[in-house]
Amino acid sequence: MSERIPEVVCERININESEVLVFSVKNGLSKIGICRINSEYDKYCLYSHDEPVMAISGGMNDDDADKVISEYGSASGGSIIADSIDRAYEKLAAGGSPEYALEPLMRLLSDGLYAVSYVETYPTAGENMFFWSGYGVSKQLRNSSRNIRLIGDKAYSAPFLIPTEKPSSYDPSLIKKASVKGTRNGDLFGISIHFSGLYSLLLKGHYAACAAAIENRPFYTVQIQPLKNIWKITDENEEIKSIGFSSASFRVPFESLTKEQLRIGLTARKYVTPDTYDTIKQKLGIVPKSSQKRIPKQLDIFSERYPDADMVACAQGIDELTKPMLDALLAGQTELNGKVIISENYYNSVTAACNYLRYHSKDDFIDFALNVMRNPELSATYAYVASSLAKVRDERVKQFFTEVKNSGDAGYSKIIGTARSYIDNYDKYEEISSEDFFNALPEPKQERKRKEIIHLTGDTKSEDRISSETAKMMATHIATMMDNKSK
């Protein structure tokens, strides 16, 4: 039986006067993907070759449900996979185009269409905590459903990150190195692949993400989004029509694709069963050893500056909130000039407005929230608004919570605990200097020289000097040998 040789084609497609980079993968090796472990109980697993990387225990069968996940292993465990990811990252860091740099990595994926973009992301898991800190703890990811209620049918970005490396590999000396070398055109960056909703999996760039959080620098990822959903619209006759492929951020019309791209896209499966399925399932049954290493708590503190998942969802789902709209909400109204402002539900409207304003303007948020808290008719929203205020360090907020604590007003009884906690911790708060923390990190260890690869042909030239076809054959051949050996 002839070997399946992966074929990767990249094209720039013009959609609404903007270019979308689309990879088509045929005969993909399926070395990285998501497989179904137990469909009856909604068990899935992100795997890398024969290693389980992330267990998914809920929400995968429901497009409206948030996902429940627990990180398990490392995506770069296998040598072929680690080498492909590392080399893609090195080429991108050197300024190489994604079309060229990502090809070896794309061969590791399953058949299908993939849109690639360069986007700003946040090194958190959507909860104001550093993304690497909660590794291995079962968690429900807010706004990780494919359909996010407030955003609706709009395209949206997926800025939050899930780690694919164990914290046991954490080496603080690599942060300073990544601060300099983990950059693309001066930007700290990584490589990610979209998971669901507002979340992507960080395949490479964990230490660059650490540097970004510490130094308060933007963090970008070259983000790969599978185009595995059918884009549907309702026409003027109320008929539902399929008109293209979609992902979180992209809508690609059928008409903009070639016949071969259409065939690949339409025959691609959402989940695949890898050759290493039995090994993956067996390893999932083994409780992983807990890591002795912990990510420094300071990284969580530095991460408090980033927006959370509710803020991002509201910022992307709400087009605008004008002063007349905010005034209407403060008056207890959900409509203005006959149009629903945010939602017909008043509580949902106020909470969404708070998150939208927190994302766009701290001052506007504080003004709006304090006006809500001083209106007894809006007391049903007090608990949520007070908890949102407590996330902002500001003298105006401290003054308000002091008034609440001393007022004895029964209307504030449910937020007394929030007020006391805020006041008690306000003066204890100590600003941690990013510069001091960064300077205290250990210096990078001296790099070991990369060993020369001896190819199957006996040639000792570097990978970049051999032909593209030879590289493809080599990767496929070695991957096949590994599969046969594991069996």
Q: What is the predicted pLDDT for the residue at 463?
A: 43
Domain regions of the chain by residue span: 7-301+450-486, 318-426
Q: What is the predicted pLDDT for the residue at 291?
A: 56
Q: What is the predicted pLDDT for the residue at 237?
A: 86
Euclidean distance between CA atoms 69 and 164, whole angstroms: 12
pLDDT tens for residues 37-62?
886 667 899 999 999 999 998 778 88
Look up tokens 């790969």; give the residue.
224
pLDDT tens for residues 109-118?
999 999 999 9
Q: What is the predicted pLDDT for the residue at 216?
A: 96
pLDDT tens for residues 392-402?
999 999 999 99
Give mean pLDDT, residues 202-206: 97
Euclidean distance between CA atoms 91 and 101, whole angstroms: 5
Q: What is the predicted pLDDT for the residue at 76?
A: 82
- Identify the CA nearest to 281 among candidates 16, 17, 52: 52
| Mean per-residue pLDDT over the chain, rounded | 89
- Reading the block at residue 25, the tokens are 């993968």
Residue 170 amino acid letter: Y
Give mean pLDDT, residues 194-208: 97
pLDDT tens for residues 248-273?
999 999 999 999 999 999 998 878 88
State the Cα angle at 146 between 143 and 149, rounded to 5°.
60
Q: pLDDT band at residue 347, thresholds of 50, 70 and 90?
A: very high
Q: Is 80 within 8 Å of 478 (Cβ atoms)?
A: yes
pLDDT tens for residues 413-441?
999 999 999 999 987 776 788 999 999 99
Residue 382 amino acid letter: Y
Q: What is the dihedral of CA 182, 187, 188, 194, to 10 degrees?
A: -110
DSSP 56-72: EEESTT-TTSPPEEEE-
Please determine, for residue 480, whether its predicted confidence score (pLDDT) is greater than 60. no
Q: What is the dihedral of CA 5, 165, 162, 130, to 10 degrees?
A: -160
- Identify the CA nearest to 23 among candidates 287, 295, 227: 227
Q: pLDDT band at residue 2, thresholds of 50, 70 and 90?
A: low
Spatial neighbors of 474 by CB under 8 A, at least 6 apart, are 455, 456, 466
Euclidean distance between CA atoms 261 and 272, whole angstroms: 19
Q: What is the predicted pLDDT for the residue at 470?
A: 39
Between 154 and 288, the more confident residue is 154
CA atoms within 13 A on the CB side of 219: 31
Rounded to 5 degrees, what are φ and ψ at 165?
-130, 145
Look up tokens 């009884």; give the residue.
413
